[in-house]
Every structure is written in C-alpha cells, then in structure tokens.
C-alpha cells in the first residue's frame, strides 16, 4: 500500500468520523422541524375553522376578541379637502396630492470588453428626462454640465385619509384602510380650485407650473424653424416644470379579516401569528388565508431545501470515491429521509400529499439499493482486475501454471 493510498484512507476515516454524526444530527433536525411545520399548519387550520363570519348590519358582542370575517361596502361621510388647493372629494377613503417634477435622470450601465488577455470593466452614462416624484440630485451625476436639476420641488405630495369609515354598523380604523382599493384621478373644477401661486395654471386635471428657465437644454431655437414648430417646442415640458394631480380611493366592496374589538377591529395576534387583511370585493374565507398559508409553505420548504443541499454535500464527501454511483446515493439518501419524515407526520392530515411523499420514498429506496449494488459490483471488478494484474496464468498440455509477479 503506497503512501498516497494510506493518506487517502486516513482522510476517508476522518471524514466518516466528522460527517456521519452531522448527518445523524440533521436527520433528527428534519423530523423535529417537520413536527413544528405540522403544528403551524394545524394552528392555521384551527384559525380558519374558528373564524366567524359576521353580519355588517349588527354588532354581536359575543364575537369580541374573536377572529372574524366581514364582507360589505365601505362608507364615509367625511369630505376630504386638500388644504392648499382646496380640491375636495366625497365618498372616498383617501385623497392624495401627487407632485411630480420634470428632471434629468442618469442611467449608469456596466460594460466589459476584452483587452489582450484581460477583461476590462467600464461604465457609460446616459441622460434622459422624466417626471419624478422625488427630486434627483444632479450634483451626483457623472456629467453635471448641461444636466442640472432644481434643488427642490415646488410643494410636496400629501395623503389625507377619512377619519370616519364604516362597514354597516362596524367602524373601520382609518390607519388600517389608508390608500386601499381601486384609485381614480380627480376631475378638477376650476371654479372651486384655489391656486396659491400666480404662475400656476390648470391643464385638464393637472395644476401646472412652468420652470423659470426660458430655454430647455435640448431645444435650440433658430430662424429656420417655423412659427408652428416653435409653438410646439414651447409646449413641451422643460426641466424644472412641475405638475400636480390628485388621486382618490372611492368607497368599494371589501372583505375584512381581523379581530373584533367592540364596534371596531384590530390585529388578531396569537403566538407567532398575526391576522389582519383586507381584500377588494367578496372573498371566500379559505381564500382570505391564502397569503398567510403561502408564506408558511415558503417557510416550510426553504429549510427543507437548504438541509437537503447540506446533506447532499456531506454524503458526497463520503462516497466521492465511487463517482457516479456515489452521486446517486448523495441524492437518494436525503430524499428518503425527507420523504419518510413527511409521510410519517402528514399522513393523518394531508393524505394525498403524504402518499406522494411515500412514492418518492419508495423511489429513493430503489435508487439506494441499485446504487449500492453497482458500487459493490464496481469494487468487485476493481479487485478482480488488481488480482489478475498481479498474477500470471498459463496453460500447457492441460496443466495450469501459476506465477506470482508481485
């Protein structure tokens, strides 16, 4: 036995001593985590079953503190008014003033090119104009000259939410509704709007402020341009122009999932779970829990996948010498552990899911048996080859002669 072979055997023994206990620990962790997943699933099922569907017409004090489901139409008597421009709307849960400024925007692109035997990275910068709600600091641009933006925008965006929002006899906390539901642009009435600035004009459903700069950087006037062309260019937005428009969220039909708190609602907190959701239109009870159960499902599968990959890596270390057949074991053994754990825990509750995992379990057993058989076969052939390589057999007059070449 050569030194390299002895070293390989020592390394293999060390890997067995370190890796095998870790695999055993991960197997126990898989079964433990699967139990936690099952408990979380059963809790969610309990909440779905115990959730009470209530009527919008009356308040039942017996449901206080319970998780409830309410379907109905939002309503409010509040008149929402913008304090600066005096734009007003009714039958809406919120009114939002949106302020946008026409600005330069920098686009930075990364490129790579071959120079001799090296790859060189370099960047290019391009600039275009767009309406943006937040001011863009042009001092940070790569090419500042000719791309200057105003330091701040005129006026600010604000949102006004109705205080008194109800669904039938129930009050809905305004901080839980906010800008919910489909939105609509407010149609402006010039006779009722207040324009606090002399340079403000109304264009359709927008309040427009033209920038002080008389000449946009991209427009170069010349005598060759016709009067119509110049008028067209003058109408184009220029850097620093500001437009203001308003958006409202009209009252609409909603489905609410929350804890009943007297004549109002709040978050339902139970252990690690928190329930409060509102959806547009009439939604079935099961569907109201879909987002929560989908998040839980993601939380279940991510640890499974990560542990599977770790086990695959560890088993690969042990069976690496067997190459292709060892790779089969690296997949089949973790697959068997996971599918067996899923089947064991979920068969009483999700039969179809558990039976599918049982099928995977059987396939993984077959893969393992086949891999072990092929590994043993390859080891036998390798030893047989080594034996014949070290000895010589000859046949003379029906008498075998054996010579040891070692």
361 close to 339: Cβ distance less than 8 angstroms: yes
- β-pairing, 67-76 vs 165-167, is antiparallel
Tell me what pLDDT residue 313 has: 87
Q: Which two tokens stand for residue 19?
A: 């890796």
Tell me what pLDDT residue 19 has: 78
Tell me what pLDDT residue 291 has: 74
Residue 323 neighbours by CB under 8 Å, 6+ apart: none
55 against 322, higher pLDDT? 55
Q: How far, in Å, are 158, 193, 252 from residue 161 at the CA level? A: 10, 20, 15
Give SS3 for 232. helix
Please state the rounded mean pLDDT for residues 191-205. Answer: 87
Tell me what pLDDT residue 6 has: 53
Q: Which range is least confidently modeled, 120-129, 242-251, 263-272, 350-359?
A: 263-272
Tell me what pLDDT residue 236 has: 84
CA distance 363 to 329: 12
Please state the rounded mean pLDDT for residues 201-212. Answer: 89
Please state the rounded mean pLDDT for residues 246-256. Answer: 92
Q: Which two tokens stand for residue 400?
A: 């075998």
CA distance 190 to 192: 6
Tell me what pLDDT residue 171 has: 92
- Domain ranges in the chain are 3-43+293-392, 77-162+176-252
Tell me what pLDDT residue 246 has: 96
98 close to 248: Cβ distance less than 8 angstroms: no
pLDDT at residue 197 tops 50? yes
pLDDT at residue 403 tops 60? no
Q: Is 367 buried (19+), middle (13-18) or exposed (0-12) by CB count in 10 A? A: middle
401 against 48, higher pLDDT? 48
pLDDT at residue 3 tops 70? no
Tell me what pLDDT residue 129 has: 94
Give SS3 for 47. helix
Residue 98 pLDDT level (bands cut at 50, 70, 90): very high
pLDDT at residue 31 tops 90? no
User: What share of the chain in percent tops pLDDT 70?
Assistant: 85
Please state the rounded mean pLDDT for residues 282-295. Answer: 80
Q: Which range is least confidently modeled, 216-225, 289-298, 381-390?
A: 216-225
Q: Which two tokens stand for residue 27?
A: 């197997």
User: What share of the chain in percent tops pLDDT 90?
Assistant: 35
**Residue written as token pair 């030194």:** 3
Which residues in 236-376 belong to E strands, given as ranges?
242-250, 253-261, 264-266, 268-270, 273-275, 277-280
Tell me what pLDDT residue 399 has: 53
pLDDT at residue 388 tops 70? no
C-alpha gyration radius of the chain: 36
Tell me what pLDDT residue 217 has: 44
Residue 321 neighbours by CB under 8 Å, 6+ apart: 12
205 close to 188: Cβ distance less than 8 angstroms: yes
**Residue pLDDT, tens place only, 132-188:** 999 999 999 999 898 999 988 888 999 999 999 999 999 998 877 766 778 999 999
Provide, for the chain, the percentages of residues in helix, strand and coil under a 3-state DSSP scheme, each rounded to the nearest 5: 40, 30, 30
Tell me what pLDDT residue 114 has: 82
Please state the rounded mean pLDDT for residues 13-25. Answer: 78
Tell me what pLDDT residue 213 has: 59
Q: Which two tokens stand for residue 108?
A: 């930075």
- Separation of first and last alpha carbons in the chain: 13
Element (H, E) at 110: strand 92-115
**Residue pLDDT, tens place only, 363-380:** 999 998 988 888 888 777
Average pLDDT of the chain? 83
Residue 311 neighbours by CB under 8 Å, 6+ apart: 23, 26, 333, 334, 337
- β-pairing, 158-161 vs 92-115, is antiparallel
């Amino acid at each position: 036995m050569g030194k390299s072979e002895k070293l390989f055997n020592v390394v293999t023994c060390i890997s067995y001593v370190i890796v095998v206990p870790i695999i055993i620990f991960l197997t126990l962790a898989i079964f433990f985590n699967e139990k936690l997943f099952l408990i979380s699933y059963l809790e969610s099922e309990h909440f779905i079953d115990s959730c009470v569907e209530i009527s919008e017409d009356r308040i039942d004090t017996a449901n206080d503190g319970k998780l409830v489901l309410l379907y109905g139409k939002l309503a409010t008597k509040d008149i929402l008014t913008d304090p600066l421009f005096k734009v007003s709307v009714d039958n809406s849960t919120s009114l939002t003033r949106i302020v946008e400024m026409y600005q330069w925007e920098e686009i930075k692109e990364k490129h790579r090119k071959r120079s001799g035997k090296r790859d060189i990275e370099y960047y290019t910068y391009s600039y275009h104009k767009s309406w943006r709600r937040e001011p863009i600091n042009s001092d940070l641009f790569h090419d500042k000259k000719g791309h200057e933006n105003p330091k701040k925008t005129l006026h600010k965006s604000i949102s006004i939410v109705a205080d008194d929002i109800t669904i039938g006899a129930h009050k809905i906390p305004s901080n839980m509704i906010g800008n919910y539901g489909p939105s609509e642009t407010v149609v402006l009435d010039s006779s009722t709007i207040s324009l606090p600035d002399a340079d403000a004009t109304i264009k359709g459903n927008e309040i427009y402020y033209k920038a002080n700069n008389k000449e946009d950087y991209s427009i170069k006037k010349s005598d060759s341009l016709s009067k119509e062309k110049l008028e067209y260019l003058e109408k184009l937005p220029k850097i620093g122009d500001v437009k203001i428009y308003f958006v409202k969220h009209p009252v609409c039909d909603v489905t609410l999932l929350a804890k009943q708190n007297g004549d109002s609602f709040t978050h339902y907190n139970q252990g690690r779970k928190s329930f409060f959701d509102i959806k547009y239109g009439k939604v079935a009870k099961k569907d109201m829990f879909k987002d929560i159960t989908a998040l839980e499902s993601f939380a279940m599968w991510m640890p499974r996948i990560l542990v599977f990959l770790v086990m695959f890596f560890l088993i690969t270390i042990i069976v690496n010498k067997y190459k292709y057949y060892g790779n089969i074991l690296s997949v089949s053994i973790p697959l068997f552990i996971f599918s067996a754990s899923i089947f064991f825990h979920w068969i009483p509750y999700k039969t179809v899911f558990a039976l599918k995992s049982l099928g995977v379990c059987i396939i993984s057993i077959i893969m393992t048996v086949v891999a072990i058989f092929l590994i043993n076969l390859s080891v036998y052939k390798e030893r047989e080859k080594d034996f014949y390589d070290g000895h010589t057999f000859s046949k003379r007059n029906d008498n075998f002669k054996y010579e040891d070449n070692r």
